[in-house]
Chain A
Amino acid sequence: MVDTIVGSAAGRFERARERVADAYRHRPVTTPPVVVGDCNYWITGEDPTRIPEDYFEASGYDSMRRFQEAKIASHVERIDDDYVPFLFPWYGTGVVPSALGSRIIFQRGEEPAIEGPILGSPAEVRRLEPPDPRRDGLMPRVLGCIDRFKATSGLPASFTDCQGPLNIALSLAGVEQLCLWMYDAPMAVHELMDFATTVLIDWLVVQKTHAGQPMGSGAFPHAMVLPDGFGGVWISDDDCTILSAPLYREFVVPYNSRVLRAFGGGTLHFCGNAPHQVDNFLATDGLVGINNWCMGEFESVRRMQDAFEGRVVLMVCDTTPLDAERYFRELFGFLRPTGTIVGTYPAPANALDAGSHRVVSVRQDQAEVADRAWAIIRRLLGGRDG
């Protein structure tokens, strides 16, 4: 059924792709592309009763596909935004660490989580070995999922969320240790970041090959299809918020640059606020977009908008706020439509309290919240380009 629904909307998806491409080209427009991200593949904020019991199991590939397809079908029928459907193999953010020896904990109703660091000293970095994606950790499960998606659905399949070199290194060494090593053992940190970068690039190549994606395209960060010509990868760098600009410049920028260059460029995601990293983002070779869940902190968005104008696409995203009218009125009051994309992510059990800049627990109908947010956005934008 989803194939029929999606097939009938092919024209609209092409227009969506063009709007997103125009954002990446910084072509002057009067309204930004908008994605209402209620087709979430992650389960944070999800109604626990809706999560299939075998969602993360190797036996659960079809459950994962059906879970996502049902949301996609509902979304496509209700909301004419710039979302372009795809399937996402999702096993948490610890897939790469899992293949390097980290233990992953599965708890009912939660994303898979890494138990703790596996490196006890800088010297141990040298004992790390590149993983075999057909055998190690959760990598085979991801590949199996991609293969199953390709065999059973007409929708394209993404590579999984691989995070980025920094998050991989933090997972392996632990936040406290890695931060201290940046001062005590900088060469070991460089070795670890270099290793994580190589593993990440190789892993992305394997996944994209399985998914039938060209290396230079086919990235789907948080429900946004990145256009051809603007790179084939997106990475996550949530921890850019906890490092100073000099440390990030030394220990992260060179490695993110390497990943992005390997795929003809790419987009970087982070949650939170990092105005102090703006110059570092601009210094990252191959960076064409920033996907930021800003937690309603718009001063940071203003600063990025000014710095990135004409150079880097800015995607302003958040869990759909409790007071969506106020949030979007304020956002559209200053956000320039050229070179920007807006994403709002309604969830049954989460909402953004923009006043406190925190995600809070709620109980709500996801479709209702999505529809209401879309109606507000359309009204405030006064129509859409294209």
Chain B
Amino acid sequence: MADLDGLTTAIEAGDRTAAARATQQAIDAGRNPQSILDAMTAAMNNVGGRFQRNEIFVPEMLIAARAMKEATALLEPLLVAADIRPEATAVIGTVKGDLHDIGKNLVGMMWKGANIEVIDLGTNVPPERYVEAARTHGARIIGISALLTTTMTGMGDVVRAVRDAGMGDVRIIVGGAPVTAEFAREIGADGYAPDAGSAVEVAKAALAR
């Protein structure tokens, strides 16, 4: 019997080899693709929680995300065949003028781990690119990261651009070292993620509204 608990454990531990093996065994055993995916997302949910509690740190999050990514690649054809789609599509980027990417990358990994499709625009992204990408990909979430007090003001520009484009139903989530919940409210963002570990919870809460 394919061990889905073992799959969850392997991803959490960042063991890419064991995760791939457990995934293939589950596929070969004819397990429902959704249940396999659920085991994977459960792992990343645990990773996010442990990161928030400072039980694990950035390297452990990265190896877990990599194990998830490689395991998901094996599962993807079955997901497509079963018409199991990502829960949502998110566009993510670092704000214009800012070159930092590690925070954005970690959030992107956590969102992928929660079965949210992520379109990563990179760093130094002007407002119009967020709008264009969200429109092109049918994104329901836009994630914006900033690491500097001098660049975070650009997040307000993105919010305005998105709303001016008539995309009021797109949820905008902001985060980064200088960003606070109060700032997020001031600029009209829909959510604030204080760290990568909380990013999934914040995204799901924003989508549920």
Q: Which residues of A contact B (CB under 8 A)?
A: 44-45, 105, 107, 109-110, 113, 115-116, 175-176, 179-180, 182-183, 242-244, 247, 276, 349-350, 353, 356, 358-361
Contact = CB atoms under 8 A, between A and B. Distances in A.
Interface centre among A44, A45, A349, A358 (most CB of B within 10 A): A358
Contact of B102 (A113, A175, A350, A358): A175
Contact of A361 (B14, B54, B102, B152): B152
A361 B99 contact: no
B178 interface: yes
Given A107-B97, A115-B99, A180-B66, A349 B149 contact: yes
A243 B180 CA distance: 24
B17 to A, nearest CB: 12
A157 B165 CA distance: 54
A244 B58 CA distance: 8
B70 to A, nearest CB: 13
Given A243-B57, A353-B180, A360-B180, A105 B99 contact: yes
Q: Which 5 A-B pairs have the closest CB atoms?
A: A179-B59, A242-B58, A361-B149, A356-B180, A175-B102
B58 A110 contact: no
Given A358-B177, A361-B153, A180 B63 contact: yes
Contacts of B179: 358
Q: Which of the four size classes fits the interface of chain B?
A: 20 to 34
A44 B105 CA distance: 24
Given A244-B57, A358-B180, A360-B183, A176 B153 contact: no
A44 B148 CA distance: 9
A361 B178 contact: yes
Contacts of A107: 97
Interface of B: 14, 54, 56-60, 62-63, 66, 97, 99, 102, 105, 148-150, 152-153, 177-183
Contacts of B99: 105, 113, 115-116
Given A110-B150, A361-B152, A176 B178 contact: no
A183 B59 contact: yes
Contacts of A110: 97, 148, 150
A183 B14 contact: yes
Given A183-B14, A361-B149, A361-B153, A176 B62 contact: yes
Contact of A180 (B54, B59, B183): B59
Contacts of A105: 99
Main DSSP-derived SS at the A contact region: mixed
Contacts of A360: 149, 178, 180, 183
Contacts of B62: 176, 179-180
Given A175-B102, A180-B63, 8 more contacts: A113-B99, A175-B58, A179-B58, A244-B57, A358-B179, A360-B149, A360-B183, A361-B153
A276 B54 contact: yes
Q: Which of B14, B59, B63, B177 has the most CB of A within 10 A?
A: B59
B61 to A, nearest CB: 9
Contacts of A358: 177-180
A257 B72 CA distance: 42
Contacts of B150: 44, 109-110, 349, 361
A372 B14 CA distance: 50
A45 B178 CA distance: 12
Nearest to B100: A113
5 contacts: A175-B58, A276-B54, A358-B178, A358-B179, A360-B183
Contacts of A109: 150
A209 B197 CA distance: 46
| Listed residue (B97, B149, B152, B181) with the most chain A CB atoms within 10 angstroms of its CB | B149
Contacts of A179: 58-59, 62
Q: Which of A45, A109, A110, A175 has the most CB of B within 10 A?
A: A175
A45 B149 contact: yes
A342 to B, nearest CB: 23
Contacts of A182: 59
A45 B58 CA distance: 27
Nearest to A48: B150
A350 B178 CA distance: 10
Contact of B57 (A45, A115, A183, A242): A242
A37 to B, nearest CB: 17
Contacts of A116: 99
